[in-house]
Amino acid sequence: MKVNIKTVWISILSITLLVILIDSPASTDIKKTITIVKSSNNSYYNLTIDSLIERSPKDISFEVVLADSSHFNNLTLLKTNPVISLGSKATSRVLGKFSDQPVISSYITNNQLQSLSPTATNHFPVLLEQPFERYLAFSQKLLKLNSLGIINRQPQLLTRRQKIILTQLNLNLRQFQTDKPESLLRTIRQLKSQSDALLILPDQNLFNRNTLKGVLLTSYRNRIPVISYSPAHVKSGALASIYSSPEDIGHHLADLLSQYLRNKLKPGQTPQLARYFSISINSRVAYSLGLRLPKESDIRQFIDETLR
Amino acid sequence: MNMKLSFSTVRSISGLLVCLTIFLATSINAQDVTTESDFFEDAPLILTASRMSKPLMESPASVSVIDRQMIKAAGIRKLADIFRLVPGFIVGNLSGNTPIVTYQGQGAVFARQIQVLVDGRSVFIPSFGGVPWVNLPLLLEDIERVEVIRGPNAVTYGANAFLATINIITRHATEDLGARYSLTASDSTNPNVRDAYFRLGYHFDDIDWRLSIGTLKDDGFETVNDSRETDKLNFRLDYLANNNQFWTIQLGTSNTISGKGSPGSATNQERNEDATNSYLNINWEQVRISSSTSIRLTHTEQKVIDNYQPEPFSIGPISNVTTFIDFDRLSNRTDLEIIQTEEFDIFRIVYGTSFREDRVKSIYLLNSNDFHDIHISRLFTSMEWRFAQDWILDLGTTLEDSSITDQEYSPRLSLLHNLTENHMLRFVASRAKRNPILFEHSGLTIFSANGNIPGPGMTDFDMKIWQGNPNIVPEDLISYEIGLRSQYADSAISSDVKLFSYRITDYIDEASFNEAHPLLGTISVGTSENADGFRVNGLEASYNITPISDLDIKTGVSFVSIDTENSDIKESYPEASAFITAQYEWQSKHSISASYYYVDEMIWLHTPSNTTIPSINKLDLRYSHLLDESSETRIEIIGQNMLEDYIDSLQENINERVYLLRISGGF
């Protein structure tokens, strides 16, 4: 039998290609549909989904499912398909139902992540919190501070990079400890003599809806500008916030999905802090405190350059 | 509307609210995990444009702000002494329990030219006028700050915001959580100060409340019957509903037993006056991003019991005169005010209306046991327009209609120009009215007596000593001011200098007329009249300096020149007054402060002999040591009147050196 060498080569190539296509996580099946599970019908989830879709390759289609719907209960997925979960409820339910599934989750805080134990190795969480250095650079550029005060229950241990950033910013970080919300306002009054501004970091034991009123009123009356992790606090009366908007979160998710599809997202990675950020400023508070603030573009440039 | 609030009623209501709060507090669930809702859900509107003060640089009038740190640093014990820290303000004491506060001049025990508000509630006494400084249901420790507008401000606060307006702002209840106490005592037997203060604050969900009680005792001046014992109770509840509706309910009462009268006086014999002052203040405010609506209902009741039968005395030919002197008086003030604010890009508009009812019952003032009422309605508006970069125009007017005066309007125009980033120049022209009080308009004081008349023997007779003047018209003031407010060195130095000139016409003065008396021939009866006006020119300046981070220096001066033929008025304006207070803090534990006050020679009007008071030099010192940071336990030593003794209002009122020891803390 005479074998055509050309036919043999074509056959080998075809089989190889077929094997590659079957083995690769970026199989044609995955490209077809990515499931997004959201905790509720909040408008900010929808903004994030829009942002994610807009930034993802056009050949990917998305299916959006509510975590507490019957559709979710009946959902079956290819094991290789990543699921995107929005919010802690959705994340918890997805991890519970699809324990071996790769899950990219967002709209969860570090606190909430700790409660999701044990952490699956195929879980890629994106936290709502910003890197601490970003808060520092933002505060310094905004207010030209000598010292910045934070209130926490335990002193925050600074990383080497954070210490370098503080030196680079010529900024003194003053930490004040209290573990009782009722002594929070007293601590703010003490902070006044040693700090030019107060940075509020996520800690529901200290900064919650119950204490927010007192914190903002006391700070304002003591003419201490408040910089917060939450844009909601800016609406309430904090001076400014650096945070990730729903669009920023969608952008970050699109990056991760793309990395996953290119097989560049390895299991067991540490949770990612917010990558993209927005800035919110309460101009009325700034006006009332007699502050002249830099332009947002200058603040962004400064943060990018400082944290490069 | 006639609401009666007694000390015991207020105490009962407060107790009930405290119990209710504690009961409700048991249902609180602590939330201890940060969630996405803390980032993205609706949050309450706590600081909004209507609730934030404007930067002082852009104030359309001369404003002085005294915050609680300054009050503490100055070692102040009596509320009225706060105003020594305001340029142009003069503080005196008709007796140890009767402080007098005035701006620049015309100071009298029942000063009627200054509007005083506590959290927006007018505390002016409708019967006599003036402010019951000692008996206000307000504790010094509850004050957040005091804003003083130096100059007419009828646009915002109506008639009686004539020469100046004092707005005392107490702390939001959420700022005073937990318990706090303070004990103060003096070194010597006179004035024998014994003060105590206790506060309890609690918070649950969207409700915060504070209960404050205090007692203040002293013996006043050494040779004067002017001791006082004051008990105060205050309750404040703040409730935030639906994230943007703020409810504030305040109620309080104060009772003072104070010594009155002079030793050896036949008709003004030594005795005790019992005065009670109670109030209820309900405020609702709905705030939105660029607008707000607020409604305030307040009711204040002032009751004074002061009656006695003097020893028999003589009047002219009548001997062995006996009478019953009844200074008892009851006055109520009920006020309803509605205010709307709207913010646009370059406009801010405030408008509103208010209705007030003043009711007075007093045999002494009105010769009647019935209530006499005055009704006042008011419409007001003001607009701030940033018509060009660096320029602000502030226009406002108020239209007021009172049952004892004609309709009046009081306009104000302010033009502000930002000369440089650090200098704001302002020009202010305004007009204000000072309505006559009920006593001046329709007062009638007649004593019924019995005496031995040569001939007929013991006979009943009446003697009129005061008759109001229903034809009196409001005082009218037209004022101009040019001011420059500056900030230097990253706000380490700030200053405000103003040149002012105002003219008062139809000045309401005390006068007298002769009237035939069947037994005494012709007698002189006091009354009020519109007298000639006068012009006042002057300069005021204030400076805040922070040369190093732990040293604060505040100072103010006032120079006044008055053009009038009325010697009493002329002498009531001291030509110069000044203050300087400095505080230095080290190691965050020690603090030392010194406050010096100077007032030129002057007289207080309507004092028994219009005593000329020599110039006053007063120096107060204070040392404070923080014993425990966590409980803020502090010990203070305050030395008052550290220079020479000085006379205050009357020759017998001699201020001597006093040392106070104060211990305060919390838990």
Q: 């006996």: which residue's tokens?
A: B322
- By C-alpha distance, which of B207, B214, B277, B287 is closest to B248? B207
**d(C-alpha A61, C-alpha A83), whole Å:** 13
What pLDDT was estimated at residue A238? 94
Beta bridge partners of A176: A151
Please state, in angstroms and rounded to a whole number, the distance separating the CA atoms of residues A110 and A273: 9
C-alpha span between A200 and A216 (Å, rounded): 11
| Interface contact A185-B177, CB threshold 8 A | yes
The secondary structure of B637-659 as a DSSP string is EEEE--SS-EEESEEEEEE--EE
Contacts of residue A163, Cβ cutoff 8 Å, sequence gap at least 6: none
pLDDT at B16 over 60: no
For B46, which of A115, A128, A212 is closest by C-beta distance?
A: A212
**pLDDT higher for B327 or B488?**
B327
B488 touches chain A (CB under 8 A): no
The mean pLDDT of chain B is 87
How high is the pLDDT of residue A192? 83
Across-strand partners of B597?
Answer: B579, B618
B457 dihedral zone (left: phi>0; alpha: psi -120 to 50; beta): left
Please list the residues that pair with B496 across neighbouring strands: B485, B542
Specify burial of residue A278 (Cβ count, 10 A radius: 0-12, 13-18, 19+). middle
Give A-chain residues touching B31 at CB under 8 angstroms: 204, 208-209
B49 and A CB contact within 8 Å: yes
Q: What is the amino acid identity at position A27? A: S
Give me the sheet containing A33-38, strands edge to edge: A61-66, A33-38, A83-86, A103-108, A123-127
Total beta-carbon pairs less than 8 A apart between chain A and chain B: 132
| Cβ distance of B33 and A182 shorter than 8 Å | no
Which ipTM was obtained for this model? Answer: 0.79
End-to-end C-alpha distance for chain A, whole angstroms = 66
B548/A contact by beta carbon, under 8 A: no
Residue pair B521/B461 in contact by the 8 Å Cβ criterion: no
Q: Is the pLDDT of residue B22 over 60?
A: no
Of B43, B204, B208, the CB nearest to A236: B43
Distances (CA, A) of A270 to A10, A103, A124, A266, A276: 44, 13, 8, 10, 18
pLDDT, tens only, B245-259: 889 999 999 999 999
Mean pLDDT of chain A: 85
Q: Mean of the pLDDT values across residues A72-95?
A: 86
Q: Is the confidence at residue B10, as pLDDT, over 70? A: no
Distance between CA atoms of residues A167 and B324, nearest Å: 81
Q: How far apart are CA B412 and CA B390, in angstroms?
A: 20
Q: Name the residue facing B174 among A217, A237, A282 (closest C-beta).
A: A217
Interval A123-149: pLDDT, tens: 889 999 999 999 999 999 999 999 999
Q: Please measure the distance between the N-terminal and C-terminal CA atoms of chain B and give it in whole angstroms.
A: 42
Q: How many CB atoms lie within 10 A of CB A266?
A: 10
Q: For A219-230, what is the mean pLDDT?
A: 91
Please tell me the distance from the alpha carbon of residue A201 to that of residue A208, in angstroms, as a whole number: 11
Tell me the domain boundaries of chain B: 7-25+42-666
CA distance A95 to chain B (A): 18
Token pair 């004609």 is found at: B406
Asked if residues B257 and B98 have their Cβ atoms less than 8 Å apart, the reply is no
- A99/chain B closest Cα distance in angstroms: 23
Q: Do B208 and A213 touch (CB under 8 A)?
A: yes
Report the SS3 class of residue B312.
Answer: coil
What's at A101, amino acid-wise?
Q
Are B174 and A44 within 8 A, CB to CB?
no
pLDDT bin (cut points 50, 70, 90) of residue A15 is: low
Residue B345 touches chain A, beta carbons under 8 Å: no
State pLDDT tens for residues B264-287: 787 888 899 999 999 999 999 888
Is the per-residue pLDDT at B34 higher than 50?
yes
Looking at residue A105, its amino acid is S
The three-class DSSP label of residue B187 is: coil
Asked if B46 reaches chain A (Cβ–Cβ under 8 Å), the answer is yes
Name the closest residue on chain B to residue A241, using Cα atoms: B39
B51 versus B433: the higher-pLDDT residue is B433
Instruction: Please judge whether A109 and B48 are an interchain contact, meaning their C-beta atoms are less than 8 angstroms apart.
Output: no
Query: With an 8 Å Cβ cutoff, are A214 and B145 in contact?
Result: no
Taking residues B120-124, what's their average pLDDT? 89
Rounded Cα–Cα distance for residues B58 and B516 (Å): 59
Q: Is B55 helix (H, G, I), strand (E, B) or coil?
A: coil
Calculate mean pLDDT across residues B147-156.
Answer: 87
User: Please, which pLDDT band fits residue A72 given cuts at 50, 70 and 90?
Assistant: confident
**B132: its two tokens:** 């019951």
The pLDDT of residue B124: 83
What pLDDT does residue B3 have? 43
Q: Where are the alpha helices (DSSP H) in B385-509?
A: 438-442
Q: Which run of H or E residues covers position B322?
A: strand B318-323
Per-residue b or e along B390-410, where b marks 16 or more CB atoms closer than 10 Å to that residue's CB: eebebbbbbbbebebbeebeb
Residue B156, H or E segment: helix B154-157
What's the CA gap between B504 and B534, in Å, rounded? Answer: 6
B450 touches chain A (CB under 8 A): no
Q: Which pair of tokens denotes residue B508? A: 């309401």
CA–CA distance from A216 to each of A179, B46, B84, B105, B207 (Å)?
18, 7, 31, 40, 16
Burial zone of A73 (CB within 10 Å; 0-12 exposed, 13-18 middle, 19+ buried): exposed
Paired sense of beta strands B423-434 and B114-118, if any? unpaired
Decide if pLDDT at B142 tops 90: yes
Strand, helix or coil for residue B159? coil
Give A108's contacts in chain B (Cβ within 8 Å): 36
Rounded to a whole number of angstroms, the distance from the CA of B178 to the nearest CA of chain A is: 7
Residue, of B608 and B323, whose pLDDT is higher: B323
The architecture that CATH gives domain B7-25+42-666 is Beta Barrel (2.40)
pLDDT tens profile B212-225: 999 999 998 888 88
For residue B101, the model assigns a pLDDT of 92
CA–CA dist B275, B112 (Å, integer): 20
Lowest-pLDDT range, A213-222, B17-26, B111-120? B17-26
Least Cα distance to B267 among B329, B321, B227, B318 occurs for: B321
* B39: enclosing H helix or E strand: helix B37-40
Render B126-144 in DSSP notation, one character per residue. TTT-S--TTT-S--GGGEE
Per-residue b or e along A85-94, where b marks 16 or more CB atoms closer than 10 Å to that residue's CB: bbbbbbbbbb
- CB–CB of A261/A232 below 8 Å? no
Express each pLDDT in B455-485 by its tens digit: 888 888 888 999 999 999 999 999 999 999 9
Q: What is the DSSP letter of B117?
A: E
Q: Do A287 and B629 touch (CB under 8 A)?
A: no
- The four Cα atoms A145, A146, A149, A150 give a dihedral, to 10 degrees, of 70
**Structural domains of chain A, with CATH:** 11-128+248-261 (3.40.50.2300), 132-243+277-306 (3.40.50.2300)
Taking the C-alpha atoms of residue A119 and residue A115, their distance in angstroms, rounded to an integer, is: 9
Strand partners, B178: B201
A240-284 tens-digit pLDDT: 999 999 999 999 999 999 988 887 777 777 788 999 999 999 988
User: Is pLDDT above 80 for B534?
Assistant: yes
Q: Beta-carbon neighbour count of residue A58 at 10 Å?
A: 6
**In three state form, how does the secondary structure of chain A look?**
CCCCHHHHHHHHHHHHHHHHHHHCCCCHHHHHEEEEEECCCCHHHHHHHHHHHHHCCCCCEEEEEECCCHHHHCCCCCCCCCEEEECHHHHHHHHHHCCCCCEEEEEECHHHHHHCCCCCCCEEEEECCCCHHHHHHHHHHHHCCCEEEEEECCCCCCCHHHHHHHHHHCCEEEEEECCCHHHHHHHHHHHHCCCCEEEECCCCCCCCHHHHHHHHHHHHHCCCCEEECCHHHHHHCCCEEEECCHHHHHHHHHHHHHHHHCCCCCCCCCCECCCCCEEEECHHHHHHCCCCCCCHHHHHHHHHHHCC
Cα separation, B9 vs B16, whole angstroms: 11
State how far residue A209 is from chain B, nearest Cα, in angstroms: 8
pLDDT score at B26: 39
Are B203 and A182 in contact (CB < 8 Å)? yes
Strands, E, within B571-632: which ranges?
Answer: 576-586, 590-599, 602-603, 612-613, 616-628
Work out the pLDDT band at A31, boundaries 50, 70, 90: low
In a mutagenesis test of the B interface, which of A48, A145, A213 is the best target, namely the one with the most B β-carbons within 10 Å?
Answer: A213
Q: What is the pLDDT of residue B294?
A: 92
Helix axes of A43-55 and A246-261: crossing angle, nearest 10 degrees: 40
